[in-house]
Amino acid sequence: MRIPICTRGLDDNICMSGSRVSLVIAETALELVPDELSRHSSVRNHARRLQKKSSEILLDRSFHHSAMISGKIKLAWKRGRPDIAHFALLEALSTPLYLEGMLDVYIHTIDDKVIKISPDVKVPKSYFRFEGIIMKLFKEKTIKNNEGNKTLLELCDNTTFEYLINNIIESDNVVGLTSVGARSTADYVAFRNLIVKKNVKCAFIVGGFPKGHFSECTSELFSCSYSIERFALEAHVVIARILYECEKILLHANNGSRGI
């Protein structure tokens, strides 16, 4: 019994775009508590429990809701959700595509910082441990392995989405995944951008924020954009599906068809 995969119609004129893809979790709601909120009682109480200064802890709506609705920060509805980054990152870094070294992962934050994820990084599943690592990263700018000879995570300050795309990833095919994109499916998006488009460096962009859409600064850089479901999906679901479909093409391309 064999199950077909989407290799039908391939010929010399359409070939795979390369052996690597990039994933950017963009405008991610991951940041330190901004100065405007650092004296609010909900923030100070939470910081005390974590035995940190207010300025060293992550903005988190689960604990700082009352501070966030005080009107002191812009775009409050799009911020303070470090759990989204945690899930999205775990989803991406658990895929065979990443584990086989064929995926580069970046987090771009809502306040224009970029976190570069090295190959072979394991993010802790425990949120408590993840939070500790990210707070350390924001303070020290790098997280190294236990031996201190390899950088696992690197934080680049003042790095816009545009700079990330043009100067770090150097992508020439920026694929936005958004509920306002062209209606499609994950398998088609992977097929179209990894097989039909020749020799392009492809970056898939997924939003790391709880609601709303990408800002214009981000979406104007998209080469194309797709919606892979009839309604908005969680970031981690979009990541799971698009990477799985990329993997079918990039990791299993030579099989023709798969199954037992």
- 94 vs 151, which CB is nearer to its own copies? 94
Q: How far is the CB of 181 from its own copies (least distance, A)?
A: 11
- 40 vs 236, which CB is nearer to its own copies? 236
Q: How far is the CB of 80 from its own copies (least distance, A)?
A: 11
- 46 vs 159, which CB is nearer to its own copies? 46
Q: How far is the CB of 129 from its own copies (least distance, A)?
A: 6
- 7 vs 151, which CB is nearer to its own copies? 7
- Smallest CA-to-CA distance from 92 within 240, 203, 207, 254 is with 240
CA-CA distances (angstroms) from residue 82 to 33, 58, 78, 132?
Answer: 11, 7, 11, 12
Provide CB contacts within 8 A for 236, sequence distance 6+.
84, 87, 88, 90, 91
CA-CA distances (angstroms) from residue 108 to 27, 76, 200, 205?
Answer: 6, 17, 22, 10
Q: How far is the CB of 124 from its own copies (least distance, A)?
A: 8
Q: Enter the tokens of residue 1.
A: 């019994």
Q: Enter the tokens of residue 44.
A: 């100070």
- 135 vs 196, which CB is nearer to its own copies? 196
Provide CB contacts within 8 A for 106, sequence distance 6+.
22, 23, 24, 25, 114, 115, 116, 117, 164, 168, 169
Q: How far is the CB of 169 from its own copies (least distance, A)?
A: 24
- 165 vs 248, which CB is nearer to its own copies? 248
Q: How far is the CB of 231 from its own copies (least distance, A)?
A: 8
Beta-carbon count within 10 A of 108 CB: 27
What are the residues binding its own copies (CB under 8 A)? 1, 3-6, 8, 49, 60, 62-63, 81, 83-84, 87, 90-91, 94-96, 99, 125-129, 182-188, 191-192, 196, 229-231, 233-234, 236-237, 240-241, 244, 258-260
**CA–CA separation, 95 vs 246, rounded Å?**
11
CA-CA distances (angstroms) from residue 29 to 77, 141, 168?
Answer: 10, 18, 21
Q: How far is the CB of 252 from its own copies (least distance, A)?
A: 8
**CA–CA separation, 126 vs 147, rounded Å?**
22
- 27 vs 187, which CB is nearer to its own copies? 187
